[in-house]
A and B are shown apart, each in its own frame.
Chain A
Amino acid sequence: MLNYEPTTILAEPETTSSAAPETAPTPNSTGAEAVLNILLAEGVDTIFGYPGGAIIPIYDALYDFNDRLNHVLVRHEQGGIHAAQGYARASGRVGVVFATSGPGATNLVTGLADAQIDSTPLVCITGQVFAHLLGTDAFQETDIINITTPVTKWNYQVTKAEEIPEALAKAFYIARSGRPGPVLIDITKNAQLQAFHFAPYAPCAHIRSYRPVPIVRPEYIRAAAALINQAERPFVLWGQGVILGKAEQEFKAFIEKSGIPAAWTILGAGALPTDHPLNVGMLGMHGNYGPNVLTNECDVLIAIGMRFDDRVTGRLDKYARQAQVIHLDIDPTEIDKNVAATVPVWGDCKETLPLLTALVNAKSHPEWHQRFQNYMAEEVAAVINDELFPTGEELTMGEVLQQLNELTEGEAIIVTDVGQHQMVACRYAKFNHTRSNITSGGLGTMGFALPAAIGAKFGAPERPVVAIIGDGGVQMTIQELGTIMQTGVDVKIIILNNRFLGMVRQWQELFNARRYSFVDIQSPDYVAVAAGYRIAGRRVETRDELQPALRQMLEQPGSFLLEVMVAKENNIFPMVPQGCSVAEIRLC
């Protein structure tokens, strides 16, 4: 943001003469310097940000911290916060964002909402006008605290430097503890400039009104184990809670001992490797056939770190009515929110799963597994074969994923945007490792993938990062190619171009009599755009070119943009139509 603000110097507030000056500790830091020292103390190495008038003092201090803090200059604050989300999701650490007041701050709102609904730990620091100007409609003043209250786990406005250490300590603690989430700290310019006594920094480990992890109740663990031990058709649904709790090993141990088939929500993907024999696939609207149908046939449903989103459950009054439900979650408000739990298991699943594993009997449920395999065979014949190994002339999104899997062998981080390509990528991408699937799940934010992929690469520099984006979403945050250009970050970008806003087009085809209302979107020459940003690129239109192009993209050092022209009117199946039960999932 351009700064048109005249330089202002705030007089020191009048001190009362009775205050004893000899006992006042000597100022040793400005507020701005304290902010950066606290970031270092919290282990922050990367900041995604964009300067502007109200945050200039922090950027001025940053000039001297350049050797210790890597600041990534993005092209738009929304890109900055999505990059921080990608960083947090890939690394398991807190993502940090800087933005200025007014428009800089409001541009964070979409990312905050996305991080709030997908439980991503972020600390966003915004500059604010001088404290004495609050409420005067000062230049670039906006009430960002009230704007962001619904989309933050916590937020706080700092108006004097003395508040900075405690506010930031709380911010990091709240962002990463319990069910993680975004925190915004708004710091007025006078507080950034103010010199104060910065005592040795103490991180926060406790807030008296905040209990991040509920107390584990052993009687419910025993009740859950008893239900599981007598179950004939138990079924596990897992979500991102397993990843956020860093409980992948505990989860694997639980299902391997109990022998229970397990299916994932899109944010849970990767917590268990794709080819693990107990992984029966994806849940929900475009999930796999068996997991959806058999949700309504299992006798005990064990939900682990997931929140029964409507895209997972379909119609609630016809969802798993026959099943006893065991729900493990760290957030007590999720239990009984959408699906009533027979046995609630409050707590961090890293703690509760081992307790449960100790009490469950070792089983294998071969007949029950066979039913999942039968449904999978049906789905392969009806949908998957045509999608992954098409015989028609047009390229499918699925075959791009299939070819990519063969080259990356499940080692890459796949970052997706929102729409048809997202469903294809989540369904077909192979994941060997946790924290490999980064997508906007709850909010469905188009424009997420390109900046999130940049952040993911900074968060996990040793891993290949492939962004898969549609021709709609990429045009929402395409300016972040500039960030790639300037930082030289190695991100591989695949644009699956079907020359439509494909998911909306699919709904219009199926439910609105093919009345294609404003889904016919044109694209620029992406390879030329990439070239303008000095990023290598290639466009693929035929099957013969696909594998060599993917190979070139992956093998050539540095970022690469690959545009693949895919069939215009392919639909994503299976599909649970809106308002239908999961058992009414359609294969075509």
Chain B
Amino acid sequence: MTRQEYNITAYTENQVGLLNRIAIIFSRRKINIESLNVSPSEIEGIHRFNIVITETEDVVSKLARQIEKQVEVLKVYYNTNADVIWQEMALYKVPTDVIAEKASVERLLRENGARAVVIRKDYTVFETTGHREETDNLIRVLQPYGLIEFVRSARIAIIKASDGFNHKLREFERREPSEDVSENEFLNSRDAVFTM
């Protein structure tokens, strides 16, 4: 069986500690998580993990079932890149004087599907969204102009064939609404403590 990129999508409760519980399913097997995004889903109270790893389908299917087995996980899917629409976003900071003087900025933006987010006297921040090779390409283009800083987001992916689950999730949330996440309320009350 061949190894390839898989996109694991997990719908979960919003609970402190669940990220760790899911992450150790990978680290226990010494599998590197290439990309991890945690965000609310389309249903309030239900969270969505997007995890990208490179493995065989046999391994990925077992990992998916181990994740789904966790008490606070609702449902897990795994898909190849062909089965998802996916994007990553990247930000690039360059010195404004260099870029304005030496580059044809307009062409550069058009060719890379990028846009300027901030333009200041001292620096300019560009943004682009796309697949890895597209965001990588703009690094190469901007490197000669003194690229100061670069950051790329985790991958987010929409499953092409995910129509049915939205209804199920909605119905699920309607029948049993989510509980609020419980966090430590006391971390800022240290000064109010009297110690003998």
Are B182 and A163 in touch, CB under 8 angstroms? yes
The CA-CA distance from A320 to B184 in the complex, in Å, is 53
Count of chain A residues with a beta carbon within 8 Å of a chain B beta carbon = 37
Q: State the Cβ distance, B145 to closest chain A Cβ, in Å.
A: 43
Residues 410-459 (chain A) with a chain B CB within 8 angstroms: none
Verify if B190 is at the interface (C-beta below 8 Å from A). yes
The answer to whether A209 touches B72 (Cβ under 8 A) is: yes
B193, A209: Cβ atoms closer than 8 Å: no
Q: Which residues of chain B are within 8 angstroms of A150 by Cβ–Cβ distance?
A: 24, 28
Smallest beta-carbon distance B44→chain A, Å: 15
Considering the chains assembled together, what is the distance between the CA atoms of A131 and B193 in angstroms?
11
Q: Judging by beta carbons under 8 Å apart, are B193 and A333 in contact?
A: no
Question: CA A332 – CA B67 in complex, angstroms?
Answer: 12
The stretch of A1-9, A311-319, A539-547 in contact with B is: A1-9
Of the residues A6, A149, A207, contact of B196 by C-beta under 8 Å: A6
Q: Report whether B186 and A13 are in contact in the complex, using a CB–CB cutoff of 8 Å.
A: yes
Question: Interface with B: A43-51, A67-75, A152-160, A231-239, which one?
Answer: A152-160
B66–A333 touching, CB < 8 Å: yes
**In the complex, chain A residues 332-371 whose Cβ is within 8 Å of any chain B Cβ:** 332-333, 336-337
Bin the interface of chain B by size: 20 to 34
Distance to closest chain B CB from A63 (angstroms): 22
Is A10 in contact with chain B by the CB < 8 A criterion?
A: yes
CB proximity to A under 8 Å, residues B1-35: 12-13, 16-17, 20-21, 24, 28
Q: How many A-B residue pairs have CB under 8 A?
A: 87
Enumerate chain B residues within 8 angstroms of A174, measured Cβ to Cβ: 71
Whether B71 contacts A333 by the Cβ 8 Å rule is no
Taking CB atoms and an 8 Å cut-off, the chain A residues in 148-174 that contact chain B are 149-150, 153-157, 159-160, 163, 174
Q: Which residues of A contact B190 (CB under 8 A)?
A: 132-133
Contact check, B62 vs A154: say whether CB atoms are below 8 A apart. no
B69 at the interface (CB under 8 A from A): yes
**Closest CB-CB distance, A194 to chain B, in whole Å?**
11
Interface residues of B in 145-196 (CB under 8 A from A): 172, 175-176, 182, 184-190, 192-196
In the bound complex, CA of A332 to CA of B24 (Å): 20
Nearest Cβ in chain A — how far from B51, in angstroms? Answer: 17
| A334 to B189 Cα, complex, angstroms | 46
Distance (whole angstroms) from the CB of A336 to the closest CB of chain B: 8
CB atoms of A8 and B193 under 8 A apart: yes
Would you call B187 and A134 a contact (CB within 8 A)?
yes
Query: Closest 6 CB pairs between A and B?
Result: A131-B186, A132-B186, A11-B192, A208-B176, A333-B65, A210-B71
Residues of B within 8 A of A (CB): 12-13, 16-17, 20-21, 24, 28, 62, 65-66, 69, 71-74, 172, 175-176, 182, 184-190, 192-196
